[in-house]
Chain A
């Protein structure tokens, strides 16, 4: 069962994302959604396994989404894990930065559950293909 880590300090938004993802199927399997309410929580959870996808909010206190992304990119084990950023920040600057740091995608809030599902599944699949081929 592919596991997705959702990092977001807003509980309601986590619930929204979980709702959108658990209704979907990825590669014939149900998605297991694990929630982290802060960057720290994510740092604690990350080493506990392999992740099909990390979805993180950009604007969080202490460890922000960009920092988390940079950490994941630099980690031996999770380097290939796709990271999907989400933010209400309409700022081109943050989006650009995220892409430069190696984000798989950038979801601007508000997004519909369908949009989130499509985007998540797209990156989970492409990650799967990449890891199979190299």
Chain B
């Protein structure tokens, strides 16, 4: 077998992963529909199509385990969509477990390692045990005058839907619609969306006639409980003609007796003449608005490895240096007296600068992905855990369309998952406790994301019992994280902050889920690695809200350049609120930490030269500055020798040998070809607060 090509293979992995993700979303929608007591055949069909495509891909690209699993799943889903099998919660559970097995298989395939045989075999055995129903689909006993040309192009599924709708007493209608070829996808989605309230569109067929070369005419076969007048009222338009399909007198049109349609001719697929007026049909409540069908992307896209974008961004960084060289060249030429040449170079420089900015923004935009990607995974986790711990949870997601850097999204999944586990396990009370407290028995977890300036905010809010600060405090004291004497000085916010202290948020008896020895301190540290800061608010009996503040991207940062002990450092402007002149006379000492008072509020001070162990230049003669950084609700003043200005910088990771250096998030090349180190305000805050705590503890113990 010839090589299908490396590109095709790459595409195979990406596409397979996307399909598995879509499959997972689909199952979640099915779960929700099932819980609401309804059913949505189109969702089952979409799930079928997903595994069907996966099976096809697996076959072409030689992924045998994936093929095997898809084959079994396809059988089950085919039985479900053709009505031969009933969708029970157990069946749905099995389908859900397939999502994880797919993920394992894909990883194994990509790494060229062994596919997880046991997991696939186990799941296949379960699927086999489910069987796929034995009742064969009956003949299409249509009581309608349907055109053979139309019946001939129905797939097995469409035929089943047609049969099922007729059996349920729905009436058939034909919508003849003129579409503009250029916009047909969107126009059809709109009609589908509107038609959903009235019933189901079973199939679409081009009629072969069109008003012009740019248009196309489609016949839509629709089943509905509503009468013709109602349908015309909501779906009718200039380019839409709706007719009822007349009922037939003779019974049964066997599908086997179909003839191939005659070639040519516009009458090929007409569905017989319209009925003379609307037929009175069984009037029932219209079906509830169903889950919005996933819109197939109509945009043209290419997939790119994020490393390639990193590479592009590095080139932008290097071009920034060229830009700096140009600027200095202009100055030198000017100094040599060639004013005109200097002005020309300056013009080139400006143009270059503008284009470079555009290039950078364009690359950044490409890196952005919607947070929905990670939220979908969380929805699955919520479903799983809530079942396992026997708590009913409603997950409300808003702002899934909020975009953030792809790399940040990847790193978000674990911390968010842990926080959600915490909320279900410790936050949401049992149904009995909730009812006694006058709350609805089902707990609600709200996942909300939105953009705020250069940051993306993610809130995880539960309506559970809230955090028990006293218990937290006891724990912190027991772990030696805080002195009891210090306790009454702590504000409520500081008390809640203890949840992020190592050891404190870990349960004594690890619960099945959140208490896996991973505490909120780890969550916080991991978020810190991607520049995230977490704040907690909690009200006893009402609930807990965790707010994560994240940078939109890590690739490029508008930075404030400062000088400390002769070296240049960069701090992200997004975390700087202001810079003020440092007045050592106003320094005070509270609990072992240096603070100043800024507009009536206490601001902890951090001496960068000391924290970074730089050779201090001694008490500086000139004036020094305090750069006030704020992260979430907290602030810290950094003492620097000089503020040099702002610059867009591309952050490069420090090598592995720098791993143990905290407080630095990377290095950057500056315009004058020097290297500057990038400060990590989140880590600095940690450092300062930790050392202050140690000092306070020492003071408390000593006293």
Contact surface of A with B, Cβ cutoff 8 Å: 9-13, 15-16, 18-20, 23, 38, 40, 43-44, 47, 58-59, 61-64, 66-71, 73-76, 79, 87-89, 91, 93-94, 97, 100-102, 109-114
Whether the Cβ atoms of B59 and A11 lie closer than 8 Å is: no
- Beta-carbon nearest neighbor of A87 in chain B: B56
23 chain-A/chain-B pairs, Cβ below 8 angstroms: A10-B53, A12-B15, A15-B8, A16-B8, A18-B8, A19-B5, A40-B181, A40-B188, A59-B53, A61-B296, A63-B204, A64-B203, A68-B206, A70-B205, A74-B264, A101-B153, A101-B260, A109-B55, A109-B60, A110-B56, A111-B60, A113-B2, A114-B2
Contacts of A101 in B (CB 8 A): 152-153, 260-261
How far apart are the CA atoms of A44 and B296 in the complex, in Å? Answer: 17
Candidate in B56, B205, B216, B296 with the most chain A CB atoms within 10 angstroms: B56
Residues on B lying within 8 angstroms of A by beta carbon are: 1-5, 7-8, 11-12, 14-16, 49, 52-53, 55-61, 67, 149, 152-156, 158, 181-182, 184-185, 188, 203-206, 208, 213, 216, 258-261, 263-265, 268-269, 296
Give the complex CA separation of A113 and B216 in angstroms. 34
Whether the Cβ atoms of A93 and B260 lie closer than 8 Å is no
CB pair B268–A66 under 8 Å, yes or no, is no
**CB-based nearest A residue for B155:** A64
Instruction: Name the A residues within 8 Å of B11 (CB-CB).
Output: 11-12, 15
Known A20-B4, A67-B205, A112-B2: A59·B60 in contact at CB below 8 Å: no
Q: Which of B8, B55, B208, B259 contacts A19 (CB 8 A)?
A: B8
Residues of chain B within 8 A (CB-CB) of A70 are 149, 152-153, 205-206, 261, 268-269
* A67 and B206 form a contact (CB under 8 A): yes
- Chain B, residue nearest A88 (CB): B56
Contact partners of B269 in chain A: CB under 8 A: 70, 74
Given contacts A12-B16, A58-B155, A67-B206, contact A76 B264 (CB under 8 A): yes
Do B59 and A94 touch across chains, with their CB atoms under 8 A apart?
Answer: no
CA distance A9 to B296 in the complex (A): 10
Which residue on B lies nearest to A117, using beta carbons? B2
Please tell me if the beta carbons of B206 and A94 are within 8 angstroms of each other in the complex.
Answer: no
Q: Which 3 A-B residue pairs are closest in the complex by CB-CB distance?
A: A110-B59, A15-B8, A19-B5
Is A94 within 8 A of B156, CB to CB?
A: yes
Indicate if the CB atoms of B184 and A43 lie closer than 8 Å. Answer: yes
Chain A nearest CB from B110 CB (Å) reads 14
Most buried by A among B58, B155, B216, B261: B155
**Nearest B-chain residue to A112, judged by Cβ:** B1
CA–CA, A76 and B208, complex, Å:
9
**Judging by beta carbons under 8 Å apart, are A100 and B152 in contact?**
yes
Which residues in B have their C-beta under 8 angstroms from that of A76?
Answer: 264
Determine the chain A residues whose CB is within 8 A of the CB of B3 once the complex forms: 19
Per a CB cutoff under 8 Å, which of A12, A91, A102 touches B61?
Answer: A12
Known interface pairs A43-B184, A74-B265. Does A10 touch B56 (Cβ–Cβ under 8 Å)? yes
Q: How far is the CB of A11 from chain B (nearest CB, A)?
A: 6
Identify the closest chain A residue to B151 (Cβ): A97
State the CA gap A69–B206 with chains docked (Å). 10
Say which residue of A15, A59, A74, A113 sits within 8 Å of B1 (CB atoms). A113
Q: Taking CB as reference atom, which chain A residue is nearest B185?
A: A40
Q: How far is the CB of B410 from chain A (nearest CB, A)?
A: 22
